[in-house]
Amino acid sequence: MSGVRSLLRLDAVPVQNDLALLLLRVWFGLSLAGLHGFMKIGWLSADPVQFADPFGLGPTVSLALAAGAEFIGALLVVIGLATRWAALAVMVTMATAFLSAHGGKLQGEGNGELPFLFFGAFLVIFLAGPGRFSADAKLGQ
């Protein structure tokens, strides 16, 4: 009976919290930086006037803030440097995108499923911290 219990608990696979945090940071950080942040940096030189302006700062400033959080903030999370602050910047950006640009919709045309999922991943990183495999840990923070 203990063999079945051990199998059901997946005892053969050791719990690796720090490795899990590293994978979460790299997976979501590189996805956000590469697929969304880098694209927005290109928009800065093209036509930022077409970008949303949810806080009345102007479309160029709004685009620069979003690009900074999605590219630089996400890369900081990947390497684990100033991780919780960078994750917070990404979370604010994703919450703004979800609520403002996508109207808080999770289904249908123009839904905000991606910002919703990115928000959740970066919330976990924000709450848990970067883990042992990070620049923050090496710097003793």
The model's pLDDT over 66-115, given as tens digits with 9 standing for 90+, comes to 999 999 999 999 999 999 999 999 999 999 999 999 999 999 999 999 99
State yes or no: pLDDT of 141 exceeds 80. Answer: no
Of the candidates 133, 51, 43, the one whose C-alpha atom is nearest the C-alpha of residue 96 is: 51
pLDDT digits (tens, 9 = 90+) for 25-62: 999 999 999 999 998 888 777 766 678 889 999 988 99
pLDDT for res 70? 97
pLDDT for res 60? 87
Cα–Cα distance between 113 and 6 in angstroms, integer?
36
Place of tokens 């994703």: 94
Record the pTM.
0.89
DSSP 98: I
Cα–Cα distance between 128 and 85 in angstroms, integer?
12
Q: Are 129 and 82 in contact (CB under 8 A)?
A: no
Count how many Cα atoms sit within 13 Å of the Cα of residue 90 in the half-sphere of its side chain. Answer: 37
Cα–Cα distance between 4 and 16 in angstroms, integer?
22
Parse the chain into domains and list their residue ranges: 17-138
User: What percent of the chain is helix, strand and coil (3-state, nearest 5)?
Assistant: 70, 0, 30
| Residues 6 or more apart in contact with residue 32 via CB below 8 angstroms | 70, 74, 90, 118
pLDDT for res 49? 61
Structure tokens at 77: 């999370």
pLDDT for res 43? 76
